[in-house]
Amino acid sequence: MTPDEMRERLASFVAGEERLPASAVRAEGLRRLAGGASREIWSVDLAIERAPGRVETLALILRKDPPGRVGDGGDRGTEFRVLRAAARGGVAVPRVYWACDDASVLGSPFFLMERVEGETLPRRLLREERYAAARQALPGELGTQLARIHALDLEQPDLAGLARPPAGRSPARVEVERVALGLRELVVEPHPVLDLAERWLLERAPDPPSAGAPGSPPRVTLVHGDYRVGNVVVGEAGLRAILDWELVHVGDPLEDLGWLCTRAWRFGAPLPAGGVGTREQVVAAYERASGTRVDFEALRFWEAFGSFKLALVFVMQSRVYLDGRVRSVELASLGRRTVEAEDELLRFLRGAA
Amino acid sequence: MNDRPSASELLAAVERFLEETAVPGLDGPARFHARVAANVVRIVARELATEDLHLAREWDGLAALLGDDAEPPAARAGLREAIAARNEELVRRIRAGSADTGPWRTALLEHLARVVADKLDVAQPPRLAQEGTS
């Protein structure tokens, strides 16, 4: 499909949704932003003439499955519904507008959401002087926003379709076993550190779910699944919107806090929570907003699990190259980052982290 | 024996071309990939300079852990294979629970820390440069 065809089809889809004549909607400035094998992200501006001479313009992001992809979790329809539920729950997310399940329109399902201006690149957020105030605000904001995500009612129609962890099983154990299985299938060489880490994690997997310290009721909540610096839009005053919801699932809420504090997401900066704060700062804000207590031992488990999962991510990405599926130099290089995850896991295994 | 420039001198030329010509002359994803390529060249250069030492060190550590003082294969490819086979043996023992507690676990962790430090020296992850992964 040419970009012109794509713009025309998009405009007539929106006109149909808004019950306007096709000529009332124009799509401009369409360009591909990023994305690889699992999704496409486009930027587009819509001009909508709701009445003669009254034109509304919207700066939008189009999120789209790659053509021909069969939903293996994280499909765009789910993401649209989760974003809608998150907005209703007071979470800072881009406003969603229209979703289309009909693959005949653009070749695969897609949805349109508000384009929130701001910075997402960790290198700039963590270094540049103009984000100094944002860096001060972020630890508290990340904790408060996460509490709102975890407070969303899983029974509401937009979230009721999400798979639940198997009844009676610890989501932490389920996650460790899932990653361990992936590693066994995909590693090319033996990695003794990862086998040691698997046993360490299974021994410490919180069971039942660990949102509460002893005494508080166990919780299973919505989990963002990729909650970290790099996936939030930040302005000079602080957090503006939380993005990248495609790994959303139901599980142990501390998984999100542990991932936020995982070493790789500090991008070389010393502070453990995303390079912007201490664990205590984020946890204090989270506890205040959620009314629950965070067990730091459980948080330590989930932080170590973050590096275990990252080892799988690096191995998976380098396998895509090694198997000849995508001959990208970036994918090729990622196999050599597995050692970063091993290094961090060793710190936990030796009791230093 | 090959003629000069040596492998590492040739890699230095490629790295310089990527950093000084390709990166500034490109934009968007191609520029990012040229940066990644330059980093890959540096990894390969460091590996060429250190692999003999690192393989010998890993072999010695494995020999001590497994109580097996067989002579190491002389050729580099054979040594790599033999080390992989010994690492498989470590993985078998770990999965059987032999490293769950005790002095062998302590020795194993010390050995793995040395191996990981050597691998990190070669990979040298650039600080604050990880935006390429999503």
Helices A338-349, A192-204: crossing angle, 10 deg rounding: 50
Residue pair A86/A149 in contact (Cβ under 8 Å)? The answer is: yes
Q: What is the per-residue pLDDT for A208?
A: 61
Residue B106 has φ and ψ, to the nearest 5°, of -60, -45
Q: What is the per-residue pLDDT for A166?
A: 83
The answer on pLDDT for B58 being more than 70 is yes
In angstroms and rounded to an integer, the radius of gyration of the C-alpha atoms of chain B is 19
Residue A211's closest CA among A297, A303, A294? A294
Beta pairing partners, A49: A55
- When CB atoms are compared, the residue of B95, B116, B131 closest to A195 is B95
Q: What is the per-residue pLDDT for A53?
A: 87
More confident residue, A163 or A143: A143
Q: How many CB atoms lie within 10 A of CB A169?
A: 12
DSSP for B5-33? Answer: SPHHHHHHHHHHHIIIIIHHH--HHHHHH
Burial class (CB in 10 A: 0-12, 13-18, 19+), A234: buried
**Which of A33, A41, A312, A330 is the best mutation test for B, with the most CBs of B within 10 A?**
A330
CB contact under 8 A, A123 and B128: yes
- Look up the pTM and report it: 0.91
Confidence of residue A207 (pLDDT cuts 50, 70, 90): confident
Confidence of residue B131 (pLDDT cuts 50, 70, 90): very low
The answer on pLDDT for A211 being more than 60 is no
* Residue B18, min C-alpha distance to chain A (Å): 13
A interface with B, Cβ–Cβ below 8 Å: 34-36, 121-123, 126-127, 189-193, 195-196, 199, 230, 244, 264, 267-269, 313, 317, 328-330, 332-334, 336-337, 339-340, 342-343, 346, 349-350
Q: Which two tokens stand for residue A321?
A: 């190259």
For residue A30, the surrounding DSSP H or E stretch is: strand A25-34
Question: What distance in Å separates the CA atoms of residue A254 and residue A273, rounded to the nearest whole number?
Answer: 13
What angle is formed at CA A190 by the lines to CA A186 and CA A193, rounded to 5 degrees?
105
Q: What is the per-residue pLDDT for B28?
A: 81
Confidence of residue B133 (pLDDT cuts 50, 70, 90): very low
The 10s digit of each residue's pLDDT in B14-24 is 999 999 999 99
- Contact residues for A317 (Cβ-Cβ < 8 A; gap 6+): A331, A334, A335, B133
The answer on pLDDT for B134 being more than 80 is no
The answer on pLDDT for A14 being more than 80 is yes
Q: How many CB atoms lie within 10 A of CB B92?
A: 13
Question: What distance in Å separates the CA atoms of residue A283 and residue A272, rounded to the nearest whole number?
Answer: 12
The 10s digit of each residue's pLDDT in A236-254 is 999 999 999 989 999 999 9
What 3-state class would DSSP assign to B36? Answer: helix
The 10s digit of each residue's pLDDT in A279-325 is 999 999 999 999 999 999 999 999 999 999 999 999 999 999 999 98
Question: What distance in Å separates the CA atoms of residue A108 and residue A101, rounded to the nearest whole number?
Answer: 8
Amino acid present at A287: E
Q: What is the per-residue pLDDT for B127?
A: 54
Residue A155 has φ and ψ, to the nearest 5°, of -85, -10
- When CB atoms are compared, the residue of B37, B94, B122 closest to A192 is B94
CB contact under 8 A, B37 and A192: no
Q: What is the per-residue pLDDT for A209?
A: 55
What value does the mean pLDDT of chain A take? 91
More confident residue, A38 or B70: B70
Cα B54 from chain centre: 8
Q: Which two tokens stand for residue A153?
A: 């009612």
Residues from chain A that touch B33, judged by Cβ atoms under 8 A, are: 328-330
Residue pair A48/A24 in contact (Cβ under 8 Å)? The answer is: yes
Q: Which two tokens stand for residue A130?
A: 């103009």
Q: What is the per-residue pLDDT for B5?
A: 97
CB contact under 8 A, A329 and B36: yes
Residue A224's closest CA among A251, A202, A200, A187? A251
Over range B24-48, report the average pLDDT: 94
CB contact under 8 A, B109 and A346: yes
For residue B37, the surrounding DSSP H or E stretch is: helix B28-66
Residue pair A302/A265 in contact (Cβ under 8 Å)? The answer is: no
Is any Cβ of chain A less than 8 angstroms from the Cβ of B30?
A: no
Residue corresponding to tokens 């009332």: A24
The answer on pLDDT for B130 being more than 70 is no
Q: Which two tokens stand for residue B105?
A: 């676990």
Residue B32's closest CA among B124, B134, B121, B120? B134
CB contact under 8 A, B128 and A267: yes
Residue in chain B closest to A193 (alpha carbons) equals: B112
Q: Where are the alpha helices (DSSP H) in A291-337?
A: 296-322, 329-334
Q: Looking at this predicted complex, what is its ipTM?
A: 0.93
Residue pair A118/A233 in contact (Cβ under 8 Å)? The answer is: yes
More confident residue, A40 or A239: A239
More confident residue, A77 or A25: A25
Cα B124 from chain centre: 10
Conformational region of residue A90, where left means phi above 0, alpha means psi within -120 to 50, and beta covers everything else: left
**Which of B32, B35, B40, B91 is the best mutation test for A, with the most CBs of A within 10 A?**
B91
* Residue B60, min C-alpha distance to chain A (Å): 16
Q: What is the per-residue pLDDT for B129?
A: 45
Amino acid present at B97: G
Residues from chain A that touch B120, judged by Cβ atoms under 8 A, are: 339-340, 343
The 10s digit of each residue's pLDDT in A159-182 is 999 988 887 788 999 999 999 999
- Contact residues for B110 (Cβ-Cβ < 8 A; gap 6+): none
- First CA to last CA distance, chain B: 44
* Residue A321, min C-alpha distance to chain B (Å): 14
Residue corresponding to tokens 């001959």: A327
- When CB atoms are compared, the residue of A126, A330, A342 closest to B128 is A126
DSSP A23: G
The 10s digit of each residue's pLDDT in B78-126 is 999 999 999 999 999 999 999 999 999 999 999 999 999 999 999 987 6
CB contact under 8 A, B112 and A329: no
- Contact residues for B80 (Cβ-Cβ < 8 A; gap 6+): B55
Q: Which two tokens stand for residue A1?
A: 């499909």
CB contact under 8 A, A333 and B43: yes
Residue pair A318/A341 in contact (Cβ under 8 Å)? The answer is: no
The 10s digit of each residue's pLDDT in A216-240 is 445 889 999 999 999 999 999 999 9
Q: Which two tokens stand for residue B41?
A: 């060249």
Is any Cβ of chain A less than 8 angstroms from the Cβ of B121?
A: no
Question: What distance in Å separates the CA atoms of residue A235 and residue A128, rounded to the nearest whole number?
Answer: 12
Over range B30-57, report the average pLDDT: 96
Give me the percent of chain B exceeding a pLDDT of 70.
93
- Contact residues for A115 (Cβ-Cβ < 8 A; gap 6+): A43, A59, A60, A61, A94
